[in-house]
């Protein structure tokens, strides 16, 4: 159950990052206006948070460990 919460949290951060990226670039793409650096920096922040939470989900499966000498 814990893994699903972390995965949903990372997906939520990624969706928020996409929303902020859209907010930062929409005027530039549509009208040729200026970039909105505040929204772009928030998008970068949320993408980093999504990556961190996603990377924390990847745990070692344990395996057999290192070979004994």
Look at residue 68 and tell me if it is in a domain.
no
Mean pLDDT score of the chain, rounded to an integer? 81
Reported pTM: 0.71
Look at residue 69 and tell me if it is in a domain.
no
pLDDT of residue 1: 53
Place of tokens 């650096």: 37
pLDDT above 90: residue 69:
no
| Angstrom distances, CA of residue 22 to CA of 1, 27, 43, 62, 63 | 32, 9, 9, 40, 42
pLDDT of residue 45: 94
- Indicate the number of domains in the chain: 1
Look at residue 35 and tell me if it is in a domain.
yes
pLDDT above 60: residue 60:
no
Q: Which two tokens stand for residue 59?
A: 């745990």
Q: Tell me the per-residue pLDDT of 4-37, one tens digit each, with 9 for 90 and over.
A: 777 888 889 999 999 999 988 888 877 878 888 8
- Domain hosting residue 11, numbered range: 2-57
């Amino acid at each position: 159950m814990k893994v699903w919460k972390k995965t949903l949290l990372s997906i939520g951060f990624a969706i928020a990052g996409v929303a902020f990226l859209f907010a930062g670039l929409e005027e530039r793409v549509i009208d040729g206006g200026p970039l909105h650096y505040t929204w772009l920096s928030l998008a970068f922040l949320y993408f980093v948070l999504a990556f961190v939470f996603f990377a924390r989900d990847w745990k070692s499966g344990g395996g057999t460990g290192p070979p004994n000498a």
